[in-house]
Amino acid sequence: MIRNRFVTLSPEVEDAKREWKPIVAMESTIISHGMPYPQNVETALNCERICRENGAVPATCAVIKGQICVGLTEEQIDYLGREGQKVTKASRRDLPMLIAKGMDGATTVAATMIAAAAAGIRVFATGGIGGVHRGAETTMDISADLEELAETPVCVVCAGAKSILDLNLTMEYLETKGVPVIGYGTDELPAFYTRKSGIKVPWRSDDPREIADAIAASREIGYPGGMLVVNPIPEAYSMDADVINKAIDDAIEEAKKQGIKGKETTPFLLAKIKDITGGSSLAANIQLVYNNVRLAARIAANL
C-alpha cells in the first residue's frame, strides 16, 4: 500500500489494491468543468458503472480539502458537480498549493496521471488529452498533459487530442518526447468528435491484451514515461467533420475576440462548440468517454 500523507485511497480502491484487482483511474475536470449539473454527475457515475461492468474498479481522482483522493464517494462526485467551475481546475502546477491551502481541485489529465502513479494505478481513461494549441508557435500554449505523458508511467486511453488543437504539432511533440502512441482498431489519430484526422499513428492494436502486454513490457524495462492509446469515437456518435470543424473555427475566433487564454481556453471552446452545434457535441463527448472507459477496463483486466 502507498504511504503518503497527501494521498488518500477510497475503501474500494484500497481493497482492490490489496486484492490485486484491476483499477482504472478517471479524471474529475469533466465533472466540474465539462458539463452542467446534474448531467456531469450522471456521466461520472455512469463511467464508474461501465468500468465495473467491464471488470475493473473505478478510481475517480480529485483534490478534496487538500487531499489527493484516488477513488471518490457518490457524495464527493455530487459535491464536485454542484460546485462546478468554482472548483479549481487542477493541473500539475496547482497540486502543491491546493494541498498547502487545503483546497478542492478537479484533476486534469496531467494531475490525474500524478494521482494514479502515486497510487500504483497504471491505466487511466479520459475523453481527450490536451495538446499543442493552434498558434502555439507564437503563444507557446502547450498542455502539461504532453509533458506528463513523457514523464509519468501511466497508460492514458482517450479519443485522441481535442480537435480544437493543432493535431499535427501535438503528434510531433509526442514523437519528440518518445511517447508510444497506439491506435486501437485504427491506423490514424482520432480527432475527438470524429474518427479520422488523416494523421498516421506509429502503432495499431486490435487487442486489449496486446496493449496490456506493451504496458507490462514498458514497466519491466524501466521505461520512464507513459503511453497513449487512442480509441475512435463509436461510429454511431461520430460527428460530421465539416460541421464540427466550422464550429471549432467559429469558437476559436470568438475566444480571440474575448481575449480567452491559458487554461480557460479549452472549457470556453468546448462550451461554445456545444452551443453552436445545438448540444450534439456534448452528446458525442459523453459517448466517447464511455467508450474509452470500456476499453481501459479491458486493458486493466488483462494486466
Residue 248 and residue 270: Cα distance in Å, rounded?
A: 9
Query: How many helices (H) and strands (E) are present in the chain, helices listed first?
Result: 13, 11
The predicted structure's pLDDT at residue 160: 95
Query: Is residue 83 annotated as part of the catalytic site, yes or no?
Result: no
**Beta carbons within 8 Å of 137's beta carbon, 6+ residues apart:** none
Greatest pairwise CA separation for the chain in angstroms: 53
Residue 80 and residue 10: Cα distance in Å, rounded?
A: 16
CATH code of the domain covering residue 192: 3.40.1790.10
Give me the amino acid identity at 267: P
Residue 20 and residue 106: Cα distance in Å, rounded?
A: 27
CB 126 within 8 A of CB 111: no
Cell of 226: 507513459
Number of other CB atoms surrounding residue 236 within 10 Å: 7
Q: For residues 296 and 172, state if they share a domain.
A: yes
- Closest by CA position to 159, among listed 188, 127, 202, 198: 127
The predicted structure's pLDDT at residue 251: 79
Residue 182 and residue 193: Cα distance in Å, rounded?
A: 18
pLDDT less than 50: residues of the chain: 1
The predicted structure's pLDDT at residue 1: 46
CB 233 within 8 A of CB 192: yes
Number of other CB atoms surrounding residue 144 within 10 Å: 18
CA 248 → CA 11, 129, 163, 165, distances in Å? 42, 17, 8, 9
Q: For residues 35 and 173, state if they share a domain.
A: no
Q: For residues 76 and 203, state if they share a domain.
A: no
Give the domain extent around 224. 126-303
CB 148 within 8 A of CB 117: no
Residue 234 and residue 242: Cα distance in Å, rounded?
A: 18
Q: For residues 106 and 147, state if they share a domain.
A: no
Query: Is residue 27 annotated as part of the catalytic site, yes or no?
Result: yes
Q: For residues 87 and 117, state if they share a domain.
A: yes
Query: Which of 121, 151, 183 is the endpoint of a domain?
Result: 121
Q: For residues 199 and 296, state if they share a domain.
A: yes
**CA-based R_g, the chain, Å:** 18
Model pTM score:
0.92
The predicted structure's pLDDT at residue 263: 64
Q: What is the DSSP string of 255-288?
A: HHHHT--GGGHHHHHHHHHHHHTTTHHHHHHHHH
Catalytic residue among 17, 89, 162, 274, which? 162
Q: For residues 106 and 204, state if they share a domain.
A: no
- Closest by CA position to 276, among listed 249, 252, 247: 247
Domain count, the chain: 2
**102 DSSP 8-state letter:** T
Cell of 116: 494514479
Q: Do the strands 57-64 and 67-70 form a parallel or antiparallel pair, or are they unpaired?
A: antiparallel
Catalytic residue among 12, 17, 27, 151, which? 27
Q: For residues 113 and 136, state if they share a domain.
A: no
Q: For residues 132 and 205, state if they share a domain.
A: yes
Residue 230 and residue 201: Cα distance in Å, rounded?
A: 9
Cell of 233: 469515437
Q: For residues 8 and 109, state if they share a domain.
A: yes
